[in-house]
Amino acid sequence: MGPVKNVLVPAGPVTVDDVVAVARHGAHVELDPAALAAVEESRARVEALAGDAEPHYGISTGFGALATTHIPLDRRAQLQRSLVRSHAAGSGPEVETEVVRATMLLRLSTLVTGRTGVRARTAQAYADLLNAHLTPVVAEHGSLGCSGDLAPLAHCALAVTGEGTVRTADGELLDAATALARHGLEPVVLAEKEGLALINGTDGMLGQLALALDTLDTLFATADLAAALSVEALLGTDAVFADDLQRLRPQLGQRVSAGNVRRALAGSPIVASHKGPECTRVQDAYSLRCAPQVHGAGRDTAAHARAVAERELAAAVDNPVVTPDGRVESNGNFHGAPVAYVLDFLAIAVADLASISERRTDRFLDRARNQGLPAFLAHDAGVDSGLMIAQYTAAGIVSELKRLAVPASVDSIPSSAMQEDHVSMGWAGARKLRRALDGLTRVLAIEVMTATRALDLRAPLRPGPVTGEVLRTVRAVVEGPGPDRFLAPEIEAVVGLVASGAVVSAARSVTEID
């Protein structure tokens, strides 16, 4: 990623790149003055309804199953404060900073649409918290993915009001009141409708989807390069990746992946060494030959997920909403089903991508299938075990990824005295996808580490320009073949290369990789 620019909200809908810039790279958030004018206009409508004898949900009534309970005028500020306090009921491990920042940015994006009825100062408070790099402490459990990511969003709202706890940019844990004062920020005293507006959206699951799509951009490219390394080191053929063969089946992602593998293998002396008539191998195993078909299907799944994410990023998700013609209407747009489904789809694609990668790794270690390499790529097989247990690690992760691929969105547990009787579980889908992406990163790293060791063992034959550059990048952090060494630090070192995008960057220094 290049230099991080300020993110103007809302100069058009917030994009996936905007989410990544703010959440992962600390970009500064600015609010469009024209948008704030629209915020104030919708706020005036809410204030006009505050004294209305007719009940209006979230303004003069309770919430959820308490929607028929009338709240007197002098109790409505307490109503909003109580809502946030009671809904900040998360439990479990602390959610990652980037997830919380993404969640806050997306809630802010909805606040400034002028459809939620909050005051401009309340929207500004979210921008101020982001720019001060004060991150509310959010617990992992507490969202059913419907009526919004309630508990996570409530923990964020609580911090804006000067309650709860936050982490500073350097990781210090502070009570929110102290942290706000240290940065010269005033706690927000919530007015009618505002507490509800701060907690009623798909922002948590959507933010994690946006971050996942960014991660997958790197991992799909890495998977193609890992496959190329394996095809080369296992003396496979590059003929199956020809573009005319891919055009016979016009799946978009497949063609992209095949092109990456083909370019990564271009000019390889190892591939050229067995292209003559003396080579009796007709076709390679599926894990080599069908890599573009599997990788490409994952790419196409991500493209669909991105389309859903972009539509959701353009949404104003709240209940009730202030419509452009001034009505305040209840609706069901907070239901997380669209986002929940694609989070589950991606977990399936991630599990299968890791599965085919692990199968390629396993082929390297079996003398019956590795085309003349030593057993387990060991220096002295028997005395040394080589990469035997690295494959165990990959296999264990793949097994977990298959469990994580079980959809969360097909589950629903009714809540709020059966008022909220069907929920999306999208937050749960997002949490398991994050874990799955970590697992895929590790499985691909083990394949890259294994394949590059195998390339060294093919000497005096040398890899091609692209795969050779990847090999040099790996050798900068992990030594080549030799007697057994403490393996865990080497795996982690290559995991770092994959996660940071260094493997892809190495290849891109030589050729185009999509």
Q: What residue ranges do the domains of the chain occupy?
A: 7-201, 213-316+342-508
Q: What is the pLDDT of residues 218-238, one digit of tens each?
A: 999 999 999 999 999 999 999
Q: Which CATH number fits domain 7-201: 2.60.120.620, 1.10.275.10, 3.40.50.1820, 3.40.1710.10?
A: 1.10.275.10
Active-site option among 57, 126, 341, 392:
57
CA atoms within 13 A on the CB side of 201: 33
pLDDT value for 319: 87
pLDDT value for 166: 98
Whether 8 shows a pLDDT value over 90: the answer reads no
The bridge status of strand 29-31 relative to strand 135-136 is: unpaired
> Stretch 142-162: mean pLDDT, rounded?
94
pLDDT value for 75: 76
Q: Average model confidence (pLDDT) for the chain?
A: 93
DSSP state at residue 70: B
CA atoms within 13 A on the CB side of 503: 32
pLDDT value for 78: 84
H/E element holding 92?
A: strand 91-94
Whether 215 shows a pLDDT value over 60: the answer reads yes
126 tagged catalytic: no
Q: What is the CATH number of domain 213-316+342-508?
A: 1.20.200.10
Q: What is the pLDDT of residues 22-66, one digit of tens each?
A: 999 999 999 999 889 889 998 998 888 776 667 777 677 766 666
> Stretch 338-343: mean pLDDT, rounded?
97
> Stretch 148-159: mean pLDDT, rounded?
96
415 bridge partner residues: 420
pLDDT value for 491: 98
Q: What percent of the chain has a predicted confidence (pLDDT) above 70?
A: 96
Distances (CA, A) of 44 to 51, 61, 118, 120, 317: 12, 19, 9, 11, 19
pLDDT value for 2: 52
Q: Give me Rg for the CA atoms of the chain.
A: 26
Q: What is the pLDDT of residues 446-468, one digit of tens each?
A: 999 999 999 999 999 999 999 99
pLDDT value for 11: 61
Q: What percent of the chain has a predicted confidence (pLDDT) above 90?
A: 81
DSSP state at residue 74: G
pLDDT value for 281: 72
pLDDT value for 63: 66
Side chain identity at residue 490, one-letter code? E
Q: What is the pTM of this model?
A: 0.95
